[in-house]
Amino acid sequence: MKTLNQKAWFFVLPVLILVAFNALVPLMTVVNYSVQETFGDNLFFWQGLDWFQQVLRSERFHGALGRQALFTITILLIEIPLGVAIALAMPRKGFWVPVCLVLMALPLLIPWNVVGAMWNIFTLPDIGLAGYTINEVLGIEYNMTRSPLAAWITIIVMDVWHWTSLVVLLSYAGIISIPDAYYQAAKIDGASNWAVFRYIQLPKMKRVLTIAVLLRFMDSFNIYTEPFVLTGGGPGNSTTLLSIDLVKTALGQFDLGPAAAMSLIYFAVTLLVSWLFYTIMTKDDAQ
């Protein structure tokens, strides 16, 4: 009977310990603040679950969570189908393959704060090319600093531009891994393009699409830098997502207790929804 060699774990054990230490220490600090009230001179007073109750009953938290959920759902409904469609349209062989891959990867190389600053300048009605074109050339009144609808459209378009490439690259990797024998059999049977996509390409892309959905959900549900640099959560609170509201509570108001409780609730919601996504998308694999 063949025995498995487990010695390889010794090579990754230091990394696992380091990652666990870096993750557990901040988490325990947040847990500590979430059940206590703190004042100056490091004075702490036990609060129990009061901060959690306060956050869960807060209309401000409900509004920020609703805006965050709306943003994430919109992003997933746009980027996943769009990314798959672009991947299907990309060439499989020849000179244009590396060109397309490089072009797709370019938005992913730009830092998040730079993306927000770029789109801020790009969409300003006075100096931005897009803002000037929409207002003066097309005659459409557009100002994201005054219109909540314009601000929402801008942050969604910005995220689609920035992150659809990730879905494209993952989908393309799944498509090119499909053996040609499947396409040859479909051609012999006279299958339509839709049938090929429905019964060959989509099932074979299921694993990479699961990864794409999970990554885009977690990224979009925890997004902070790009919308904060772009709109600052405005106009008013129209684009104050849960991540922005959390930072405002922790750093702007310095309410560490409610902020810690909010962050733990935020973390729990992210884990729960990610688990639901993974369970639903992989339930057939266990059969």
Give the integer Cα–Cα distance in Å for 104 and 89. Answer: 13
The tokens for 67 are 């805006």
Residue 130 to residues 123, 134, 142, 234, 239: CA-CA distances in angstroms? Answer: 5, 6, 10, 19, 20
Residue 4 or residue 240, greater confidence: 240
pLDDT at residue 286 tops 60: no
pLDDT tens track for 161-170:
999 999 999 9
pLDDT tens track for 31-88:
888 988 877 667 788 888 999 999 999 999 999 999 999 999 999 999 999 999 999 9
Residue 222 or residue 41, greater confidence: 222
- What are the chain's domains? 51-282 (1.10.3720.10)
Confidence of residue 2 (pLDDT cuts 50, 70, 90): low
Confidence of residue 174 (pLDDT cuts 50, 70, 90): very high
What is the predicted pLDDT for the residue at 172?
A: 94
What does R_g of the chain's alpha carbons equal in angstroms?
Answer: 23
Confidence of residue 287 (pLDDT cuts 50, 70, 90): low
pLDDT at residue 108 tops 90: yes
| Mean pLDDT of all residues in 250-261 | 89
What is the predicted pLDDT for the residue at 1?
A: 54
